[in-house]
A and B are shown apart, each in its own frame.
Chain A
């Protein structure tokens, strides 16, 4: 389940940046870009809170 959430989160992040690259390359228009970015935002904020802080806590523990 957690793996699935992480995958969805990264898809959200990808949707936050890749469409802009495509706009820059002239492959999609601005309207499509902003829509995809909004979807990416929903995916990221909808899933990352369930795993990102536990990962940070674990990293901190690993540091020690």
Chain B
């Protein structure tokens, strides 16, 4: 998974407060390539192995991935893209018209913070590869704190360089990401293929038996919780929840000539979130075999063991090419909140927060949970946009309330967000429902709450009650 990390597709800083005109709309090729590149990122080196560590069975893994990815593609195609191509506005402007600019500022801060942590995890992933020649002590599955002074120094250097590049030359980084994407996809595939004989696969017909016995065994590593088919399905569906159901990709898909281009997200799901997750899982299984089930969890040495220097470079490039634009985007989100602050200063602060976060390997070890949380936290705002677009007229609620009534802070939206997250937290703490499963009930809670609150607090034809 990845936030909008590459710039192969449409530019995102144009038409910020107006619909994208027909002359600026893009054809299907832009979106096919963008989705494929965007979802083959540094995170893939972590997610695939974590499923192996959590003891997912082979059938559960493949079936969960296929169904979850299909549901994700359908979410983009049927929920995000129709709204994007109908309104043709950025997520931020669309939100501002519904809930007011002050509310969007809160959303931006939360979004930026999430971006910082995501970028931080990618810097930590890169550090595991950069640290190889320095013989750094690598983190294990249970490591939450920095492993050594050397680890902190490597992270600080990578964080500093990444921030510097984000300040100086984002366009060059985006162009470099275009170069790296096809090579990275091949390295994922290639490394897994080369390591298969070490796991006992010398013919494709032997793959399934070995997959069940050695790779996705159904038995979690010691001290790690067990994941089922449902974990995989919901994770595959919701790991990009912020983008599809959460509507972040309105900003990208507003450039699409047709709403059907939302379905082109299949390229990202079935290359990045299928082939890459399978490949990285295979690499990790081989590492476990050769290390006698070591609890060390470091994508760098794992990739190096399977593909040599190319593998280690791939980890650095994947981590860096994800972290860099993520820092840049976090800076952009915050600049909306602090418009008078210079861009480079905002980006520098974001980079500092990101780098400090990256010192803690917990971000990598808990990446699955963090990604699920990231989607869950931002999802209610997507549900609000969905409800405003499709349901408000049917329930006698004015669409784009803030814009039409000159409201700067919509209480209906704010309390929808708050109540949804509070109920989800209650379901998690009170009933032990895993974070991966909260997105679905959370979405319905958000839509229902928004409609009730909008109807109650902002009756049509009357002044707002609060």
Residue ranges of A at the interface with B (Cβ–Cβ < 8 Å): 12-13, 16-17, 19-21, 23-24, 26, 30, 33-35, 37-38, 40-41, 44-45, 48-49, 52-53, 56, 59-60, 62-64
Contact = CB atoms under 8 A, between A and B. Distances in A.
Nearest to B308: A34
Interface of B: 8, 23-30, 33, 175-176, 178-179, 182-183, 186-187, 189-191, 193-194, 196-197, 201-202, 307-311, 313
9 contacts: A17-B190, A20-B307, A26-B202, A37-B309, A45-B179, A49-B179, A56-B8, A63-B27, A64-B25
Main secondary structure on A side of the interface with B: helix
B178 A53 contact: yes
Given A16-B190, A21-B193, A62 B179 contact: no
B193 A13 contact: no
A20 to B, nearest CB: 4
B182 A64 contact: no
Main secondary structure on B side of the interface with A: helix
Contact of A17 (B23, B189, B197): B189
Contacts, number: 93
A10 B418 CA distance: 52
A44 B308 contact: no
Nearest to B25: A64
Contacts of B28: 63
A14 B307 CA distance: 15
B179 A64 contact: no
A45 B177 CA distance: 11
Contact of B307 (A37, A49, A53, A63): A37
Contacts of B8: 56
A40 to B, nearest CB: 7
Contact of A59 (B29, B182, B194, B313): B29
B176 A24 contact: no
A7 to B, nearest CB: 15
Contact of A37 (B27, B33, B308): B308
